[in-house]
Structure 1
Amino acid sequence: MGTNKSSIDLEGANQGLDAQGSSPSPASGPEFSPFEAPWSAPFDRRRFLQIVGASMAMAGLAGCRPKLAERIVPYVKAPEEVLPGDPVFYATALTLSGYATGVLVKSETGRPIKVEGNPDHPGSLGATDVFAQAAILGLYDPDRSQEVRLNGQKSNWSVFVAAAQKEFARLKSQQGKGLAILTETVTSPTFDAEIQSLLAELPEAKWYCYEPFNREVVFAGAKLAFGVEKEPLYRLDNADVIVLLDSDFLYISPGRTPYTKQFAARRKIRKAKQDSIASTPSRALRPSVALSQTTA
């Protein structure tokens, strides 16, 4: 048996392999080494100041554009109390869930810009809450209706008045049958008198009041405890222990602003005796204050 052995050139087969047996990368040359690890590339102070300086220069150039010309049209008959740059405060009330809070509104040339508490009103005592501060945003809603529309088409007030009079005449002939009035909780005597006058003229009409967060459970509890449906008024400054049953009296309850002042009066560090709070919080409601004790 014979074999024909051929010579194998191992040196030629191994050409191009490094000591580890792998083929060298085409980007392993010295011209690619500065970009091999860009995160560890040197970044000196001069380069940093160049980048920051260029950014500040660009920001400065953005504010160098010519100012647009604006014209101030004076009043033909200027109101006595309105002066440009001199704010005017007027007293009003903000209603939430049927409970009013007296506030002072800061106005600049007829535009309300800030809501402050009225120190002479027992519902605010000179302070406000987040709801009162956010109320100023509702005065300038860009999505509010700007014009009268009929079936999706632009119309005018004369067409609206004619259509409303026709519909009201039909309702009046039926004693208001089919008419439903939906409002929030009404505590204004003037508004209530207007609705009562309308219901007297249209006796078949229905009036419904709705609140997303009503107080019916509180009224029912007061009736069980005292026999009448009333809104309880608390004196937290006289309480040594406060028990909360799924309640947050500093956030959504009526009188939250004066309650905050009463509660804070008993939390003075220098006082030897402070009030304590026990709560049974639910998943949907957590008290806004630190609790002394939480009960599951």
Structure 2
Amino acid sequence: MAASFGLAGLGMAGCRRPEQTILPYSKQPENVIPGVPVYYTSSMPSARDNVPVIVETHTGRPTKIEGNPSFKPYGGATTVYTQASILDLYDPDRATKSKQGVTTLSLAAVRDRLEAIRKAHGANEGAGLVFLAEPSTSPSRAKLVKQIKKAFPKATWTENTAIDQSTSEQAAQAVFGKALRSLPEFTKAKRVLALDAEFLINADGSLSQARDFTKTRKVKESKDANKMSRLYSVESTLTSTGSMADHRLRLSSSQMGAFIAQVGAAVLQKKHVGGPLAAQLAEIGASLKVDAQWIDACATDLVENAGHSIIVAGEHLPKSVHAIVIALNEALSAPINYVEVPAAEQGIAAAVARLNQGNVETLIVLGGNPVYDAPIDLNWSDAQAKATESIYIGGSVNETSEAAGLFIARSHYLETWGDGRTFDGTLVPVQPMIEPLFDTFNDLEILARLAGASVTDGYSIAQATFADVGGQDYSK
């Protein structure tokens, strides 16, 4: 025992933590009190919806994210992804430096490279320049993209996300001639038909849709039960939406087109506005064998509650399905508002086609990870290798960054100024909580430098956009 203690004593020096000297502020910063949190507003960017948030900070460091209750449609709610996004800021595996091969690049070196790219492609109007970017709701980024297209009229700008949630907007483009986003007013709905649509969770805008829908499902007394809304759910797998349904029918996703055609034919006939469209829908749906009574009861219920009936479809379904849904909602006078959104840019297939043509000098990939999640039939890895130089801008080292010649480390949204729009089109700011922890870049600065803009800092760019849309005081 004594020998053990003796040996332990010999090893104690090697187990001590390194000594660090803690120094007090020579001048205490205003409003920074240890242990007392300070809260700031911001929003978490995504492809189609910036979620308004309130960020709790301690001594200048963000520590917790909650929803912003002042944004009434969401009522202070957030998604699990919004809550977890703060972990990316402190992730030990996040990108901390820009590199070209094994060589680390300083901030000045990266800016010099961006300027060199701008000058090189300015001579040929961007003929050998291809962009592949993640979609964004930021009007500031949209303005810079326009400047890039003007500076490089022969360049190819494309956008891609692993899971596209804009099919309904593309269908609206075909039907109405412009891209429109539907905003169902579930507080006014008495009957809802969900067609393979998980609109209560994990969908863009689900924070407000779930709140509005559940308001129509609350009753205090049994005599008020008939005032509850009724949900019909047709889906390929059990979802949160399906688990709340009053009537649920299981069908494969490939059968949804024929199903909604049958429902459509029945609705139009009961509305006495059948005509050629009803006959065409009946012909489309004839191949599907499904419970006719279910179809009839659902269609009857929708028609009897016209003006308070809504049909929603999953974004993964074809545009033809969404076009039928749009027509039926019009026939039912559904309580749905529409907001115009920017038309979708060319997709990743256009970038692959341009790369396969050859003579692409510079490929710039802004976010995402196409080497990992691009459609396999596009052979993105082979296409990317055909570019003379490929540049990847991202927040972590991944498959795409490994395949790129130049990697530019991307800032976290809690480190940058910016802007964006919520799902219903409300303009919201992106405000930094902390200076960048590492030598990283935000998207607005990169695009501004490539476009040759005179102003390249995110704050000034976002402030100018705010003024352009009629804002009065950016500090409020």
1:140 equivalent in alignment to 2:90: yes
Aligned to 2:78: 128
Aligned to 1:83: 33
Give 1:85 deviation, angstroms: 0.9
1:268 equivalent in alignment to 2:221: no
Q: Which has the higher contact order (CA 8 A, sep 6+)?
A: 2
Aligned to 1:258: 208
Equivalences for 1:1-296 in 2 at 5 Å?
Answer: 71-223=21-173, 228-270=178-220, 271-272=224-225, 273-283=227-237, 286-288=239-241, 289-296=243-250
Contact 2:47 2:137 in 1 (8 A): no
For residues 32-63 of structure 1, the C-alpha deviation after alignment (integer angstroms, 9 at most, x for no partner) is: xxxxxxxxxxxxxxxxxxxxxxxxxxxxxxxx
Larger Rg: 1
SS class of match (1:244): strand
Contact 2:46 2:137 in 1 (8 A): no
CA distance in 2, matches of 1:84, 1:262: 40
Q: Which shows bigger deviation, 114-123 or 67-76?
A: 67-76
CA distance in 2, matches of 1:259, 1:89: 27
CA distance in 2, matches of 1:198, 1:258: 35
Q: CA, structure 1 residues 213+123, in 2 after alignment: closer, same or farther (shift >3 Å)?
A: farther
CA distance in 1, matches of 2:113, 2:187: 57
Give 1:216 deviation, angstroms: 3.2
Contact 1:278 1:294 in 2 (8 A): yes
For residues 96-120 of structure 1, the C-alpha deviation after alignment (integer angstroms, 9 at most, x for no partner) is: 2222221111111121111111111
Q: Which shows bigger deviation, 110-119 or 263-272?
A: 263-272
Contact 1:175 1:201 in 2 (8 A): yes
Q: CA, structure 1 residues 82+126, in 2 after alignment: closer, same or farther (shift >3 Å)?
A: same
More helix by share: 2
SS class of match (2:82): helix
Q: CA, structure 1 residues 244+179, in 2 after alignment: closer, same or farther (shift >3 Å)?
A: same
Q: Provide TM-score, normalisation by structure 1.
A: 0.68
Q: CA, structure 1 residues 220+174, in 2 after alignment: closer, same or farther (shift >3 Å)?
A: closer
For residues 135-177 of structure 1, the C-alpha deviation after alignment (integer angstroms, 9 at most, x for no partner) is: 2122122122223322223343444344443333211222112
Number of residue-to-residue matches in the alignment: 231
Aligned to 1:34: none
For residues 270-293 of structure 1, the C-alpha deviation after alignment (integer angstroms, 9 at most, x for no partner) is: 24232221111124x734442211
Contact 1:123 1:255 in 2 (8 A): no
Contact 1:100 1:123 in 2 (8 A): no
Contact 2:232 2:246 in 1 (8 A): yes
CA distance in 2, matches of 1:223, 1:165: 37
**AA of the residue aligned to 1:87:** P
SS class of match (1:249): coil
**What is the percentage of aligned positions where both structures have the same residue?**
29
**AA of the residue aligned to 2:52:** G
Q: Provide TM-score, normalisation by structure 2.
A: 0.44
CA distance in 1, matches of 2:173, 2:110: 46
